[in-house]
Amino acid sequence: MHFIFKFMVKLGYYDSFGKEGNRVEFLTEKLLFIGLFIFIIHSIETLAYAVRLSGARVKMIASALSLFNIMVIVSRLANMMQQPFTGSLIDNAPNENALEFVETQFRILIGASTAGTIFGIILLPTFIALFSRAIIHLSEERGSVPLLLKRIFSFQYIKRAITHFSLPKFTYLKDTRVKDMPIRLFFINMVITAIYTIGVLSALYAALLAPERASTAIMASGLINGIATILLVIFIDPKLSVIADDVVNQRGSYNKLKSMSLMMVTSRLFGTILAQFLFVLGARYIAWFTKFIV
């Protein structure tokens, strides 16, 4: 019977009581909705790596970076939109075992980021082909994003896009070389991804660890994500941009850019897994750091 009880807990039936004394389940519709949001965000951010490959492929790197920036802005906006919903999970946490309850929910959300990254990797070959066409269409529309969106979301274009769908194959790894993949950059991107993944979640969890400094801890999430973004812009983006420029100017190899891009999406995946281990540790650090602010 004890085993059955533990199994039910894992499925979402949590033996705890909310603020009104009602039995609470941690696997709620709201949690699944937030998880879906995070899944989509990390899928978009993973697929964004395909844009540079597509730009180098069609020799239109400037237009490709414009499309890349649009995708980044959309993912950042989506991330900001899900934050209030994620914060509401703290408000709805039960009085008893609140830390365990919220930790379980947040780990499910981190798992959604891993699933979203895997989904993005699976769609990477397909979107390299689609983005190549989108970049050309953006040029044909003289840089008009609304006209590009109108064209992309037409029935004819969607029907054509379905025909370009293809799953990753081992042949795609042909001509990729390990020596083109800087190990240092791999680990830097992995750590940055982990920090970005847990930034909001660790700050919210820190509010439970230090309830007397809850507001200070929650507001730290913006600082954490800001630092992660700055690190990304300083260490990662310039490297990939220079390699993409070299390909366009025929000073570098497309295979090297492909190797680098595959390395980056792989490090993103490992970064979301690393986030599971850094989540509580990061929350404790935020809770400790708030002592020096208040």
Q: What would the two tokens of residue 172 be?
A: 């795609």
User: Each residue of 54-109: pLDDT tens digit?
Assistant: 888 888 887 887 887 888 788 878 878 888 899 898 888 888 888 989 999 999 99
Residue 142 maps to a domain: yes
Residue 122 maps to a domain: yes
Q: What would the two tokens of residue 230 be?
A: 């700055």
Residue 69 maps to a domain: yes
Measured CA to CA, the distance from residue 99 to residue 207 in angstroms comes to 10
**Could you give the 3-state DSSP secondary structure of residue 5?**
helix
| Number of domains observed in the structure of the chain | 1
Q: How distant, in Å, are the alpha carbons of 110, 184, 196 from that of 270?
A: 12, 14, 13
Q: What would the two tokens of residue 157 be?
A: 């274009």
Write out the residue range of the structural domain in which residue 98 sits. 28-292
Dihedral angle at the C-alpha atoms of 34, 39, 41, 44, nearest 10 degrees? -160
pLDDT of amino acid 46? 92
With a cut of 50, list the residues of the chain below it in pLDDT. 1-23
Residue 201 maps to a domain: yes
Residue 13 maps to a domain: no
Q: Tokens 């039910």 map to which residue?
A: 8
pLDDT of amino acid 105? 93
Measured CA to CA, the distance from residue 36 to residue 116 in angstroms comes to 9
Residue 5 maps to a domain: no
Q: Tokens 């959300």 map to which residue?
A: 109
Residue 169 maps to a domain: yes
> How far from each other are the two terminal CA atoms of the chain, in whole angstroms?
48
Q: What would the two tokens of residue 246 be?
A: 């070299």
Asked if 13 and 91 touch (Cβ cutoff 8 Å), the reply is: no
Residue 232 maps to a domain: yes
pLDDT of amino acid 81? 83
